Structure 1
Amino acid sequence: MLVLASKGRRISARVVDTLIAFGVAYLLLVGLAGSTSDDGAILVIASVSLVGGALLYYLPLVHWWGTTVGKRVLGLRVVRLWSDGTLPPSWKDTFLREFDRAAFLSIPVLNVLVGAILLAQMAKGRGTYHQSKFDRAARTVLVRWPGVRARSVAA
């Protein structure tokens, strides 16, 4: 039986995944910026690196395995809502779930505000399935894997 992920595990997984995604973005930034000294170009490259790093990290992992490093460490998995939990999200659903977040977090100055809003949303109750707006758009839900105890997804 699948069990919904708790708030603490969701937030902890997001912190781990964000640190890794920023690491990927940093590597992209160093590789792309190289010898550029133009401040405007570096700002654009930094924004592109943040989006690219997040997408390179989240999209393949969530689509292929339904989990990221942070989610796996904390025993969580993204599954299609109203499924038996064996199917990871489709490419379309994964893109819907991850792209908006990556795009919002790459906007200079607004990224801190958006990050704070996302953490606040994660900390409060979000309906029957504890879904973020990104999960609702993609028709996915975050569950404990393997499921242990708490509220069941299949009702």
Structure 2
Amino acid sequence: MDPVRGQRPDGANVEYVVDASSVASVAGSPVFLLPSNRRRIAARLVDTVIASVVGMLVFMAVGDSTDGGMFLVLIPVGFAAGGLLYFLPLVHWWGTTIGKWMFGMRVVRLWSDGTLPPSFKDTFLREFDRAVFLSIPVANLLFGTILLAQMAKDGGSYYQSKFDRVARTAVVRWPARVAGGVVGAGL
């Protein structure tokens, strides 16, 4: 069932499963195994550290030319810009980030076979909203906790974050299983 439209698209053969033991018993091709919340959190922590370093570099490049009052404004802007500079190209070109790659995950278009990464529009929708909401000082912890709790309890929508739903993407374990074996093992 498509969480955005409320129905499974005609002709979709893709299946999403939570339990690795049920992959062999599902008839779809390919069958995507959805990652656990622990795996997603661990990948997100790695990505956050890397994006923070990129954000600090952006901040340092701009911060020297401003006065002290702009410092408080530039910190969230720097982290949002750093996050976008890190996430946008990686997710758009390869469908993964360093953290997701380390933990065997990939962002795919919902209901696709997973061979193509998300379009630039989908990637921008997914990452820009996240960068804006999660770069607000102090509120980012509250937003992050609420979004994680909603994602964890909402198994009916493939454990998607709100940002994945907007962009019509899903985070899956990679490589995926197909009827004849494995697809995407080289990624």
> Which bracket does the TM-score occupy, shorter chain normalised?
0.7 to 0.9
Structure 2 CA distance, aligned partners of 1:14 and 1:34?
A: 30
* RMSD, aligned α-carbons: 1.6
- Alignment correspondent of 2:51: 21
- 1:45-64 to 2 correspondences below 5 Å: 45-64=74-93
* Structure 1: tracts of 5 or more residues without a match: 149-155
Structure 2 CA distance, aligned partners of 1:121 and 1:103?
A: 19
- 1:1-150 to 2 correspondences below 5 Å: 1-34=31-64, 36=66, 38-147=67-176
Q: Which structure would you say has the larger RCO, counting Cα contacts within 8 Å and 6 or more residues apart?
A: 1
Q: How much has 1:12 moved relative to structure 2?
A: 0.9
Map Cα deviations across residues 72-103 of structure 1 (whole Å, 9 max, x no partner): 00000000011111011001100111111100
TM-score by length of 1: 0.87
Aligned identity (percent) is: 65
Structure 1 CA distance, aligned partners of 2:81 and 2:32?
A: 32
Structure 1 CA distance, aligned partners of 2:155 and 2:161?
A: 7
Look up the equivalent residue of 2:175 and give its one-letter code.
Answer: P
* Structure in which a larger fraction of residues adopt strand: 2
- Alignment correspondent of 1:152: none
Aligned length: 147
The change in CA–CA distance for 1:123 and 1:130 in structure 2 (over 3 A counts) is closer
Q: How much has 1:127 moved relative to structure 2?
A: 2.0
Q: How much has 1:146 moved relative to structure 2?
A: 0.9
Look up the equivalent residue of 2:42 and give its one-letter code.
Answer: S
* Structure 2: tracts of 5 or more residues without a match: 1-30, 178-187
Q: How much has 1:47 moved relative to structure 2?
A: 1.9
Q: Secondary structure at the match of 1:2?
A: strand
**Larger deviation, residues 110-119 vs 70-79:** 110-119
Structure 1 CA distance, aligned partners of 2:121 and 2:57?
A: 26
* Structure in which a larger fraction of residues adopt helix: 1
Indicate the structure (1 or 2) with the bigger Cα radius of gyration. Answer: 2
TM-score by length of 2: 0.73
